[in-house]
Amino acid sequence: MFLLKSIPKVDKFIQDKRFDDLATPLVVKITQEVLQDLREKILDGSVTSFSEEELVQTVLQKYDKLTSPSLQRLINATGVIVHTNLGRSLIDEKAFDRVKALVTSYNDLEYDLAKGKRGERYSHISDVIREVLGCEDVLIVNNNASAVFLILNTFAKKKEVIVSRGELVEIGGSFRVPDVMRHSGAKLVEVGTTNKTHLYDYEDNITKKTSMLMKVHKSNYSIEGFSSEVEYAELVHLAKEKGLIDYYDMGSGHLVDLPYGLDQHEPSVLRYMQHEPSLLSFSGDKLLGSVQAGIIVGKKEYIAKLKKNQLLRMLRVDKLTLALLEESITSVLLGKMDEVPTLKMLFTHTDELRKNALSLQDAISDICESELIETRTVIGGGTTPNRTIPSIALTIRIKDYKQNKMERLFREKKIIGRIERDKFLLDFRAIKKDQIGQIIKVVKEIADV
């Protein structure tokens, strides 16, 4: 067992001067793990030789990996603006700078500056949202899933909620609306059929136990052909008549009229507010284009009840969220769509995308084959299901690499593209102009190998 005996002692090993500027306790811990691993491998015969230099390198690599941030910047060349896997909506840099000044200082998050007393966390944002939406009151929670949970738990625990069978959705990350509803303590009463639900389906199922009529946005699918659903306005009307609460989980709420006729399929929150609903909820980081949050708007009496639910304490948001959300909504109020990256990308004309694509094509024309194409892309993030918007892309081919290899090589350099009809392409819908330089660099690197 000569090899076992030659394993260095930790104390001595960490004297290597390459560890001098590193945090000693962490170096010790990693060294112990590396040496233990080596010991086991020698014992089971999978290691028959090693050098101390190799061990130092292993420790340094592990140290580096642990201490550098795990989240990495990527270029989104998939064309999908609200890409949940890539962080959904981006925050505007100027807005972020303003928020930075606030969160790096003490602030009046829960302090009433005029009275010198404890204030209300949610008051900061309610004025601007009330102004934009004309609603009575507002509450912000961690995300829209929390909003659904809090609303059902508050108003429908041990009671019945009537919802259309055609709207019981499962969205990404196996978030199932019916499961969340059950966990909240609400009893789900599914009415209608998958393709058709009528107002009488709701009406006929109202019992003494019914507390709420709920509608859920069909975020990632649409039922076409022989189908019908009940308009929210009709549900609001029926709920009022029967003394019940109406609630619409809108999924991706947005505050502006969308381009490309998308509005027909996904009307803005403002349009729904005209029906004077009891409660609406939607995500902060889908088409609203802000930070992760769940926004609940509606009647004051209901929001007041939500605020009294002890669960709210677990779902409450930080100053960072409130400040970023306020920035985005103020930008919308002021008509400054340019300061909301998701909206900016959505509204960018294809002529502009074409210009960007041409500038990239021009810069890489002598390194690789590329072709500018008109394509279509989805918005993503559980918005506008099955609807596409026009976009511009460059198909790229370097050497004789197949599309899958191209996709991997770009991905390894932190550019996420997509494959369409056997071709690898970079879609310009969600690429920022100032990222083109980086893409040129990567193309050169890949072509060089």
Ligand X SMILES: *Cc1c(COP(=O)(O)O)cnc(C)c1O
Q: Which residue lies nearest ligand X, judged by its C-beta? A: 251
Residue 143 as a binder of ligand X (CB under 6 A): the answer is yes
Give min distance, CB of 384 to ligand X, in A.
Answer: 11
Give min distance, CB of 212 to ligand X, in A.
Answer: 16
Give min distance, CB of 266 to ligand X, in A.
Answer: 11
> Which CB atom, from 121 or from 217, has the smaller least distance to ligand X?
217
In the set 59, 125, 216, 368, which binds ligand X (CB under 6 A)?
Answer: 216
Question: Which residues is 376 bridged to in the sheet?
Answer: 390
Handedness of CA 252, 257, 259, 260 (dihedral sign): positive
Residue 144 as a binder of ligand X (CB under 6 A): the answer is yes
Report residue 275 CA to chain centroid gap.
28
Residue 249 as a binder of ligand X (CB under 6 A): the answer is yes
In the set 277, 294, 341, 380, which binds ligand X (CB under 6 A)?
Answer: 294
> Which CB atom, from 122 or from 428, has the smaller least distance to ligand X?
122
Q: What totals of helices (H) and strands (E) does the chain contain, helices first?
A: 18, 17
In the set 283, 348, 384, 395, which binds ligand X (CB under 6 A)?
Answer: 283
Contact of 95 with 339, CB cutoff 8 Å: yes
Phi and psi based region of residue 224 (left: phi greater than 0; alpha: psi -120 to 50; beta: remaining): beta
Residue 253 as a binder of ligand X (CB under 6 A): the answer is no
Phi, psi for 215 (deg, rounded to 5): -120, 140
Looking up tokens 């930080």, which residue turns up?
318
356's CB contacts (< 8 A; 6+ apart) are: 392, 428, 431, 433, 436
> Which CB atom, from 92 or from 266, has the smaller least distance to ligand X?
266
Give min distance, CB of 285 to ligand X, in A.
Answer: 7
In the set 219, 375, 384, 395, which binds ligand X (CB under 6 A)?
Answer: 219
Looking up tokens 């639900």, which residue turns up?
197
Residue 153 as a binder of ligand X (CB under 6 A): the answer is no
- How big is the site for ligand X, counted in residues (CB under 6 A)? 15
Residue 171 as a binder of ligand X (CB under 6 A): the answer is yes
Question: How far are the Cα atoms of 21, 39, 66, 326, 353 from residue 14, in angstroms, in the given order?
Answer: 11, 17, 18, 50, 54
Which residues would be at the binding site for ligand X (CB under 6 A)?
Answer: 143-145, 148, 169, 171, 216-217, 219, 249, 251-252, 283, 294, 382
